[in-house]
Amino acid sequence: MITVDLKSRKPIYEQICDSIKQLVLTGALKPDDRLPAVRKLAVDLAINPNTIQKAYMMLEAQSIVYSIPGKGSFVSSEAENLTNVRRAEILNQLKTLVRESRHLGIAENEISSLTAQVFAENDDTVQQTI
Amino acid sequence: MITVDLKSRKPIYEQICDSIKQLVLTGALKPDDRLPAVRKLAVDLAINPNTIQKAYMMLEAQSIVYSIPGKGSFVSSEAENLTNVRRAEILNQLKTLVRESRHLGIAENEISSLTAQVFAENDDTVQQTI
Amino acid sequence: MITVDLKSRKPIYEQICDSIKQLVLTGALKPDDRLPAVRKLAVDLAINPNTIQKAYMMLEAQSIVYSIPGKGSFVSSEAENLTNVRRAEILNQLKTLVRESRHLGIAENEISSLTAQVFAENDDTVQQTI
Amino acid sequence: MITVDLKSRKPIYEQICDSIKQLVLTGALKPDDRLPAVRKLAVDLAINPNTIQKAYMMLEAQSIVYSIPGKGSFVSSEAENLTNVRRAEILNQLKTLVRESRHLGIAENEISSLTAQVFAENDDTVQQTI
DNA sequence: GTGGTCTAGACCACG
DNA sequence: GTGGTCTAGACCACT
C-alpha cells in the first residue's frame, strides 16, 4: 500500500505522510484504524525506523493520527476533515493554473475537453471508492 | 518587477529564476533584452550577489539567458520556446489535479464553472497583452 | 582519479566536470555509482567545497548526475547518452581540424599515417576495455 | 576581412587576434603589410578602440606584428613561422582527438573517410592559396 | 562597471 | 555524515 521512491527529491518521511493521507482520503484507512507498526513498515520499506517515526510524528502534529504509547498509532476521527481541506486546496490550485493557462492563450474549451476526458477515464481507484 | 520571499521554503535563487521566466512568458522581457545587472539586482533585493549569479547561471544552463562577461546578461532568442514548454507542463498538472478532484467526489460541472469564472475575470495583465 | 590544475585558465569546477564525464565515458563510473562526497573530494583536491558543489550542480543540470540530499551524488542512468554526444562532438572537431590542415598544406596521407600510428599504439586503457 | 561575434564568449580582442593570424596564415597579409588603423577598424567593427589596441598589443607581444609609433602596425617578417607553429599545434590536436576517438570505439576507416571527404571539398579559400 | 570564479565559514534538512 | 543554500568579501578579465 505504502511505497517510497528513494531516488526522489521529496524527503522519504514526507512521501510516507502523503501515502497515508492518500489512504485516508480514499477510505482505505478509517478513523481508529491502526497504522502499520513502525518497525514492521521500516522492514517492509527497507528504510530507517527513525524515518517512519518522524512521518508518524508529523501526522500526529497535524491531528491526522493519534498514538497510544505501547499500542501503536491510529487514524484520528478528525481525519475526515482531510477531504474538505484537500478539496479546498485543489480548487485553489486549479484556479491558479487555469488563470495561467488563460495568460498563455490556452482556450477555455481546451480545458473543458481535458476535464471531460479525465472524467471519462475508467480508473480502477475510482471504481473502488464507489 | 522581481520580488523574493526570504521566508519561503523555495530557495531564493529559484524564486529569481521563476520570476524571470515569468517575465519572459508575459512578454515583459523579449529576446536580447538585458537583465538587471547582477550587483544592482542584489542591492535592490537586499540579497548577496552570489545568489543572483547562481540564478543567472541556472537560467543560462537552460538556454533561457546568455551572458557576456563585461557586458551583461541577456534573454536568449531560444527563450521563446518557454511558452510551449510551460503550456505542456500546465496541461499535465491540470490533468493530475482534475483526476484527484474526481477521486474526491468533485463534480465535473464544479470544475467547469470554476474555469468559466476565471475566463470571465477582468485581468489587467490580459488586457495589456491584447 | 580526479585531478585539477590550479594554474589552468579553465575554471576548476569545469575541470572537475570534465574529469567526471571522462570517468563515465571510460566506464570507470557506471549509472547509479556514487560520486565522491563533496567535502571529501574538496579535502582530497585541497579545494573549497563550494567549488565541488558547483561542479556537481552543473553535472546535475546536464542530467549526468543526480543528487539526493543526505545520501550523496550518483551517476544518472541517462549518462550513457554521453558517449553518443561526445562522439558527434569529436567527429565535428576532427572535420574542422582536417579542414584547417588542408589549408595549411598538410597532405592527406600525412593525416592518414598519423591516424594509423595512433591506432597502432599499445594503450593500456584500450586493453582494459577490450 | 575581419569580423567579430559580439555574442561569443571568446573575448573580442582574442577574436581579432585570431582573425589577423588567419589572414597571415592564408597569405592575405604578408610581412611588412600594414594592419588596418586602430581607429578605422574600431569604427568598421563598431567596437571600442581600446579593444583593438589590446589585440594589436597581444600580437606584438607574440612578435607577429611590430608597430611604429605614429605610422601604424605592420606584419612582422618572423610571422611566417606562424605556419609551422600552427601546423605542429594542429597535428598535436589531431593526435589527441584520434586517440579519444579510438577509446570511444570509432573505427579507423570512419576517420579516413571523413578525412577523404574534407579533402574532396571544393573550398574557395583553398583555391585562393594555390 | 560588467560577469565569472573562488574562498571561508555559517546554517539547514535529511538519514 | 550527506547535499543544499546563503553570506561576505576577494580577485580576475573584459569593455
- Cα D47 to Cα C29: distance, rounded to the nearest angstrom: 47
Mean pLDDT of A66-76: 92
Mean pLDDT of D72-78: 91
Q: Residue C86 has what pLDDT?
A: 93
Mean pLDDT per segment of 10 residues, for chain C of length 130 residues?
A: 93 96 93 96 96 97 94 93 92 93 90 93 57
pLDDT at B98 over 60: yes
Q: Residue D125 has what pLDDT?
A: 54
Interface residue ranges in chain A relative to chain B, Cβ cutoff 8 Å: 25-26, 83, 86-87, 90-91, 93-95, 97-104, 106, 108, 110-112, 114-116, 118-119, 121, 123, 125-126, 129
- Cα B115 to Cα D102: distance, rounded to the nearest angstrom: 59
Provide the 8-state DSSP code for D123. -
- Cα D77 to Cα B5: distance, rounded to the nearest angstrom: 64
Which residue, counting CA atoms, is nearest to the C1' of nucleotide F2?
Answer: C70
pLDDT at A130 over 70: no
CB C119 within 8 A of CB D102: yes
Identity of the highest mean pLDDT range in A15-29, B42-56, D63-77:
B42-56
Q: Report CA-CA distances (Å) from D105 to C25, C78, C86, C129, D115.
A: 11, 19, 12, 10, 17
H/E element, A75: strand A72-75
Q: Residue D123 has what pLDDT?
A: 64
- Cα C106 to Cα C99: distance, rounded to the nearest angstrom: 10
Ramachandran category for residue A125: left, alpha or beta (phi over 0 → left; psi -120 to 50 → alpha): alpha
Footprint of strand E on the protein (CB under 7 A): A 11-14, 47-48, 50-51; B 35, 37-40, 50, 53, 56-57, 60, 67-73; C 11-14, 47-51, 54, 69-71
- Cα A121 to Cα B96: distance, rounded to the nearest angstrom: 12
Q: Residue C19 has what pLDDT?
A: 96
Q: Residue B34 has what pLDDT?
A: 96
In the three-class reduction of DSSP (H, G, I as helix; E, B as strand; rest coil), residue D71 is classed as coil
Look at the block and give the residue holding cell 599499445.
C122
pLDDT digits (tens, 9 = 90+) for A31-63: 999 999 999 999 999 999 999 999 999 999 999
A67 forms bridges with which residues in the sheet? A73
pLDDT band at D130, cuts 50/70/90?
A: very low
Nearest CB to C112 within list D99, D110, D112:
D112
C93 CA to F12 C1' distance (Å):
30
Instruction: Give me the DSSP letters along A61-94.
Output: HTTSEEEETTTEEEE-GGGGHHHHHHHHHHHHHH
Q: Which of B84, B3, C90 is nearest to D106 (CA)?
A: C90
pLDDT digits (tens, 9 = 90+) for B80-95: 899 999 999 999 999 9
- Cα D23 to Cα D1: distance, rounded to the nearest angstrom: 8
CB A32 within 8 A of CB A75: yes
> 0.75 cut: is pTM over it?
yes
Provide the 8-state DSSP code for C68. E
Q: Residue D79 has what pLDDT?
A: 82
Radius of gyration of chain B from its Cα atoms, rounded to whole angstroms: 18
Mean pLDDT of D56-60: 92
Q: Which three cell numbers stand for residue C49?
A: 567545497
H/E element, D74: strand D72-75
pLDDT digits (tens, 9 = 90+) for B105-118: 899 999 999 999 99
Strands, E assignment, C43-89: 65-68, 72-75
